[in-house]
Amino acid sequence: MTGKARVLVTGTGAITPVGADAPSTWSALLAGKSGVRLLQEDWAPGLPVHVAAGLQVDPASLLPRTEARRLDRGEQLAILGAREAWRDAGAPDVEPERLAVVIGTGTGGVLTTLGQDDLFERSGMRRLSPFAVPMLMANGPAAWVSMDLGAKGGARTTVSACASGAEALSLGMDLIRAGRVDVVVAGGVEACLHPFTLAAFAQMKALSTASEDPESVSRPFDVRRSGFVMGEGAAMFVLEREGFARARRARAHGVLAGGAVGSSAGHITASDADGQAAAITLALRDADIAPRDIGVVHAHATSTESGDLAEAEAIGWAVGTHAAVTATKSMTGHMMGASGAVGALAAVLALRDGSVPPTRNLDEQDPRVELDVVRGESRTGRWDAALANSFGFGGHNVSLVFTRDRGGVQ
């Protein structure tokens, strides 16, 4: 069972700043709706950052109280997204040992860590939650989802900053190709909206401090971009070995045809066009896809000048300038470890539905960005292959290639 067995995407789930599930998220992205809002929390005054892309629904309210109280916010998101994806896939009847979970996160249970530390400083150790340790563990989301689904084929966690969710999908694909499992629940999650994290990123000059019109702050590829907007959310997928999925007559949203995980080994935070282009090229080779066959690109495009320009250069080198490019962080903000998974969601659904979301706030495209970036309204068409990029601090470069499902075992 070794080799490049095809991997189908049979289930999707999401909870994002623009939707409480995958269908509503997708509809909002196609409509160009923004989830960026003014910070209204009592801790917001005094911060240099005034906007963020928080969730429109409290995930704790969607879970039984006894379950929610023992989970970090990120773990709540992972459980909700995974359950939705599992239902969407038709709850595959798979042996526990042939089912694995891979979930990426950039910061793990940082809200629990910071909150419990504050409580310890104020009130001492007796007030700490007995659930604090499993709530703050970076592997918590994968562990809880594995227990929820009874997955005994492995519960793995990818931690590669903003590329974590995309790397989780790549690893899930590799597990299926290697014949170790038949089904993988994979994705990314992040919940880190907190004064400490916002202040820390602001100190790096990475976040936009604009606030006059919150929905217009996140501006990938635009000449007036001023930094990214921090967001939170999750996206989960059910990946299946094609033979297993066809045997149970599962519907497929698309095919995860290939991927590559590379490292620039240069600067800890700076973008590197060479490393990004190398990851894209390897992903295309892995999928046996020619650059000209890529019709859609979901760009990482965080809305920083250096990052946007490096990626535009990498896409131009490795793919060309013919593909329809979208940057949905213009609507969702940057969901850190979840962003790569949400980008993958947009890529696979764009192929399925023949529609590419617009890049919001692209009023004047930077002339140095020589790409066909979709703006204004969603673009319709018929494309066979899509690329989704995800890059993270530390030089992590991940590219995924999706293709339309044509049916039949190949």
Q: Would you say residue 51 lies in a domain? A: yes
Q: Would you say residue 25 lies in a domain? A: yes
Same-domain pairing of 178 and 202: yes
List, in sequence order, every residue forming a beta bridge with 51; answer none if it has no partner: 38
Measured distance CA(399)–CA(166) in Å, rounded: 7
Q: pLDDT tens, 77-129?
A: 999 999 999 999 999 999 999 999 999 999 999 999 999 999 999 999 999 99
List of residues 6+ apart from 391 with CB closer than 8 A: 162, 163, 271, 276, 300, 307, 311, 397, 398
Kindly indicate the confidence band of residue 1, based on its pLDDT and cuts at 50, 70 and 90: very low
392 phi and psi angles, rounded to 5 deg:
-135, 155
Kindly indicate the confidence band of residue 2, based on its pLDDT and cuts at 50, 70 and 90: very low
Same-domain pairing of 396 and 360: yes
Active-site choice (50, 194, 298, 300): 300
Q: pLDDT tens, 385-403?
A: 999 999 999 999 999 999 9
CA distances from 337 to 45, 106, 159, 294, 368 (A): 26, 5, 8, 25, 28
Same-domain pairing of 31 and 134: yes
pLDDT, average across residues 4-13: 95
DSSP 6-60: -EEEEEEEEEBTTBSSHHHHHHHHHHT----EE--STT-TT-S--EEB--SS-GG
Same-domain pairing of 292 and 197: no
Q: Would you say residue 253 lies in a domain? A: no
Q: pLDDT tens, 333-380?
A: 999 999 999 999 999 999 999 999 999 999 999 999 999 999 999 999
> Residue 124 is encoded by which pair of tokens?
């001492």
Q: Is 192 a catalytic residue?
A: no
Same-domain pairing of 117 and 179: yes
Active-site choice (50, 162, 192, 253): 162
Q: Would you say residue 215 lies in a domain? A: yes
CA angle 205, 387, 51 (to 5 degrees): 30
Q: What pLDDT does 353 receive? A: 98
Residue 302 belongs to a domain with what CATH number? 3.40.47.10
Same-domain pairing of 309 and 285: yes
Measured distance CA(393)–CA(270) in Å, rounded: 7
Looking at 220, 247, 274, the residue that finishes a domain is: 247
Same-domain pairing of 225 and 118: yes
Q: Would you say residue 86 lies in a domain? A: yes
Q: Is 267 a catalytic residue?
A: no
At residue 408, does pLDDT exceed 90? no
List of residues 6+ apart from 190 with CB closer than 8 A: 74, 105, 106, 107, 231, 232, 233, 234, 335, 336, 337, 338, 339
Same-domain pairing of 229 and 270: no
What kind and span of H or E run contains 211? none
Domain residue limits at 31: 7-247
Active-site choice (50, 253, 334, 396): 334
Q: Would you say residue 408 lies in a domain? A: no
Measured distance CA(340)–CA(333) in Å, rounded: 12
Give CA torsion, residues 6, 12, 15, 17, to 10 deg: 70
- Count how many domains the chain has: 2
Same-domain pairing of 212 and 361: no
Looking at 192, 213, 247, the residue that finishes a domain is: 247
Same-domain pairing of 231 and 136: yes
Q: Is 162 a catalytic residue?
A: yes
Q: pLDDT tens, 42-76?
A: 999 999 999 999 999 999 999 999 999 999 999 99
Kindly indicate the confidence band of residue 407, based on its pLDDT and cuts at 50, 70 and 90: confident
Q: Would you say residue 153 lies in a domain? A: yes
SS3 167: helix
Length of the chain: 410
At residue 4, does pLDDT exceed 90? no
Kindly indicate the confidence band of residue 23, based on its pLDDT and cuts at 50, 70 and 90: very high
**Is there a contact between 66 and 60 (Cβ–Cβ < 8 Å)?**
no
List of residues 6+ apart from 374 with CB closer than 8 A: 324, 325, 326, 356, 357, 358, 359
Looking at 195, 225, 247, the residue that finishes a domain is: 247
Q: Would you say residue 195 lies in a domain? A: yes
Same-domain pairing of 233 and 295: no
Same-domain pairing of 309 and 384: yes
